[in-house]
Structure 1
């Protein structure tokens, strides 16, 4: 086995899966008008073109657990990279609307796989004292991928006329993903499998050697013994039969709460929302890209440097609390018709709080709370729940914000923001009541948190 340079090398390579997650999700943002013109789409068809990748994300999340268990974490990421490549090429060449949809779904499957496997891989190779910051790098990569594709789309749009953009330019936007996908695929062959997966396959010498390589200068004997003990538990059988239903519910709730606190409302509908806050002539799309994107990226970096110092629970509770206050303030201002540019402060405060907490830290917790024997299956279920919640929030916000709806007319547009604010308050309580602190512990030490006695009541915060 070729030894990697260090754990940072492994993290940076695997985090490219997160970058492609963000790139593939956001690439369509610059091509919607061109697609509508080229394929002569009505509003429903355009909406489906924009959201079709989400179908693939759900499918990818369902199969990611089985793929990563059977073919390995690296093997599953290689499959995701190939799907990204196929989608990039296929989305750039179709003459038929439904062919385009097919390739967008294929790309979504890649996103669904990468969204689960990338943080899991990083968690399984990271030293316990650095695991939080290294897994958070994947969230940074997702946001960075979104920002990169915004500028790529803008650059391509400047290459020709509007007619050229409607016939050829949009193809270059989707085709541009070939470059990062190809780099990701090639670099995956420079990284090994994770020590946990190798040990589960009985390849103990390789697993031990790799564990020593990524924990340079540290005594790995106790950690290796913990891995050996954890492997004595059979890897067959269901999650419920292992008495782990409690931790699975916690994982599902973390995934769902990340979405139902409203983040994708701002990521997907920010131009509409910001335009309603002010009569300013500022280019709303540019405002979204620069302000929301920059704040998101900046505070994700803050999370990377604080999650292993302050712990998961404080960041989650403080962040969710600020998100709740921001949403309740926005909803109240809308209800009282006190709309103004000052609300941008609450929007950016909400984005900053999410980037510091529920954005990266949820993925950190999901990647580390599940025991070795069920990690692939359990994480796959939790990520499926996350994509499903994403879909529900994305579909219901326009309905609640429809000016002709009873909810909008009764609460003057404030109801959905109040709802997300209440979910933020519930998130604070849920984390306080049920989520244990996990910083500084090995993945195997965390397994002891989920004994039947503890999951029945309040988790032990040690």
Structure 2
């Protein structure tokens, strides 16, 4: 892999790959801006309650299908067979096709079909982007670069919303009964642009070194590791140490001689699969995507300012407050973010629900107007309470953006062994899309039928997540992907930190001091007098037993 055909900066690679997450963001806000336009409600016969829920849910339904289609974990099959990079390119093609169909929609059926196809893309991308990022990044910044997925999601939400907000002004504006169809066709057409950029750009990016190693393409894997972590030097101590870590882990997995599907249900892995799926489940049941999908309805009920303008502030908060999490997640850790975030979101939702319950009223014939006919509960002529409700929504979004948003993608991407990583992350993401689909369909009727009680339900979910993460989610910051087995198999309770120097750091120091001698495939004769092993470049089984013991024990020369 020459320097002329791929880039080598980890931040740039992971940021560019995160455009796949941006497509997820485009999905999340793909309906919120058009819901408030007369063009959309007129053309699609004013869908509300279950009808609107079905339209919105069609995209996460497609994403769920691609994660669990025929039980084959379609996205992980593509990622394991053809590489993480090619799987992402396939997802881009699906997104472009889905966007074209949505843009040309003539009826609700065609719109749902386009959203399902686009959902297939998001199902693949949301599973594979964090895996690709985690496998590219060094452990010191893994949380930061995988968090870029969430930041891209927030940017996708914001950009798509403002595209919709701008398009909503065509004709006589969103309240014009004769508003042209461009109000919703422009946003659905423009959203194919980032997918095209990602599709073309990925041709110039490297394959995951761990995927290359798993396919015994060791020389390519070493070249990628050298360019990513060793300034192009295949004999750099950190490159050699990481190669050794990957080789040891792969050999162990192969010696187990268990299929990756069967390995998923082994007790030591299955408990991690359940944890990864739970993190993604709670990230949906916390209520965040409800705030994104249906914020216009919530703001209409609050009866304060323009619903579209008020909602737009929430999207800006989402983008801005994700940045601190990117900068500090590797310092603060995953566990505090999950626990504190769940607690605060619970508090804000309980307050918002209580305000609605005490000061709200049913939307009767006396209060119903053309602007609020699609809601059943509102705050009437009480600006302080309306302002407090909007403030709680903003605080909720800020909390999610700094805690669960980035962590819910980082944590599942790093806790699994290489052999099952793509499949296990696909299962975790399938949990995300399952609950995303259920909530996208269920929330309009919930808002319509139980009003403020919906906030109490999601607050209770956050309370359950707080307890669950406190008891079962150990800290993972500072450890390599290959060291996760030690953390999860140590037998220590999740609330007791696993205090141990990273094996990779120790091995790097031993190589630098000449205490351990390794030559990676394609690395020449080695540096600083390193004697070679695994010279055949075949990975597992190619190391002599005596040399293997020397490496594992770190014997002094």
TM surpasses 0.5: yes
- SS of the equivalent of 1:439 reads coil
Of 452, 455, 463, 1:425 maps to 463
- Per the alignment, residue 286 of structure 1 pairs with 309
Deviation at 1:335, TM superposition (A): 3.3
- SS of the equivalent of 1:193 reads coil
Of 408, 416, 421, 2:454 maps to 416
Alignment check: 8 A CA contact 1:72 1:197 kept: yes
Change (3 A) 1:204 1:261: same
Of 371, 388, 407, 1:342 maps to 388
Across the two proteins, how many residue pairs are aligned to each other? 449
Summarize the alignment of residues 393-408 of structure 1 with structure 2, pairs less than 5 Å apart.
393-403=439-449, 408=450
What is the CA–CA distance in structure 1 between the aligned matches of 2:335 and 2:154, rounded to whole Å? 23
Alignment check: 8 A CA contact 1:37 1:166 kept: no
Larger gyration radius, structure 1 or structure 2: 2
What is the CA–CA distance in structure 1 between the aligned matches of 2:242 and 2:466, rounded to whole Å? 32
Structure 2 unmatched runs, 5+: 69-73, 232-236, 361-384, 499-557
Of 16, 20, 39, 2:23 maps to 20
Give yes or no for the alignment of 1:49 onto 2:60: no
What is the CA–CA distance in structure 2 between the aligned matches of 1:145 and 1:384, rounded to whole Å? 21
Deviations along 1:339-381, whole A, 9 cap, x unmatched? 4422322221111111111111111101101111101111111
- Per the alignment, residue 319 of structure 1 pairs with 341
Summarize the alignment of residues 190-201 of structure 1 with structure 2, pairs less than 5 Å apart.
190-201=204-215
Of 347, 355, 361, 2:407 maps to 361
Deviations along 1:18-54, whole A, 9 cap, x unmatched? 1122123423334454344335465455543333212
Deviation at 1:164, TM superposition (A): 8.2
What is the CA–CA distance in structure 2 between the aligned matches of 1:18 and 1:206, rounded to whole Å? 27
Summarize the alignment of residues 430-445 of structure 1 with structure 2, pairs less than 5 Å apart.
430-445=468-483
Summarize the alignment of residues 258-273 of structure 1 with structure 2, pairs less than 5 Å apart.
258-273=283-298
- Per the alignment, residue 37 of structure 1 pairs with 42
What is the CA–CA distance in structure 1 between the aligned matches of 2:298 and 2:186, rounded to whole Å? 30
Of 483, 491, 497, 1:461 maps to 497
- Per the alignment, residue 369 of structure 2 pairs with none
Alignment check: 8 A CA contact 1:454 1:460 kept: no
- Per the alignment, residue 243 of structure 1 pairs with 268
What is the CA–CA distance in structure 2 between the aligned matches of 1:45 and 1:426, rounded to whole Å? 30
What is the CA–CA distance in structure 2 between the aligned matches of 1:120 and 1:59, rounded to whole Å? 19
Structure 1 unmatched runs, 5+: none
Give yes or no for the alignment of 1:93 onto 2:104: yes
User: RMSD over aligned Cα, in angstroms?
Assistant: 2.4
What is the CA–CA distance in structure 2 between the aligned matches of 1:307 and 1:42, rounded to whole Å? 41
Deviations along 1:177-219, whole A, 9 cap, x unmatched? 2322211111011111101111111101111221122224661
Summarize the alignment of residues 155-170 of structure 1 with structure 2, pairs less than 5 Å apart.
155-160=166-171, 166-170=180-184
What is the CA–CA distance in structure 1 between the aligned matches of 2:169 and 2:104, rounded to whole Å? 21
Alignment check: 8 A CA contact 1:324 1:421 kept: yes
Give yes or no for the alignment of 1:177 onto 2:191: yes
Alignment check: 8 A CA contact 2:249 2:482 kept: yes
Of 478, 487, 491, 1:449 maps to 487
- SS of the equivalent of 1:454 reads coil
- Length-normalised TM-score, structure 1: 0.90
- SS of the equivalent of 1:243 reads helix
What is the CA–CA distance in structure 2 between the aligned matches of 1:87 and 1:400, rounded to whole Å? 28
Deviation at 1:419, TM superposition (A): 2.6
Change (3 A) 1:357 1:163: same
Alignment check: 8 A CA contact 1:132 1:364 kept: yes
- Per the alignment, residue 426 of structure 2 pairs with 380
- Per the alignment, residue 540 of structure 2 pairs with none
- Per the alignment, residue 253 of structure 1 pairs with 278
Deviation at 1:425, TM superposition (A): 2.5
- SS of the equivalent of 2:242 reads helix
What is the CA–CA distance in structure 2 between the aligned matches of 1:242 and 1:208, rounded to whole Å? 33
Change (3 A) 1:329 1:75: same
- Length-normalised TM-score, structure 2: 0.75
Summarize the alignment of residues 121-132 of structure 1 with structure 2, pairs less than 5 Å apart.
121-132=132-143
Alignment check: 8 A CA contact 1:2 1:192 kept: no
What is the CA–CA distance in structure 2 between the aligned matches of 1:159 and 1:112, rounded to whole Å? 32
What is the CA–CA distance in structure 1 between the aligned matches of 2:458 and 2:27, rounded to whole Å? 27
- Per the alignment, residue 503 of structure 2 pairs with none
Change (3 A) 1:47 1:314: closer
- Per the alignment, residue 10 of structure 1 pairs with 13
- Per the alignment, residue 208 of structure 1 pairs with 222
- Per the alignment, residue 546 of structure 2 pairs with none
Of 86, 90, 94, 1:79 maps to 90
Deviation at 1:254, TM superposition (A): 0.7
Deviations along 1:291-322, whole A, 9 cap, x unmatched? x1121111100100110111111122222221
What is the CA–CA distance in structure 2 between the aligned matches of 1:256 and 1:203, rounded to whole Å? 36
Alignment check: 8 A CA contact 1:36 1:46 kept: no
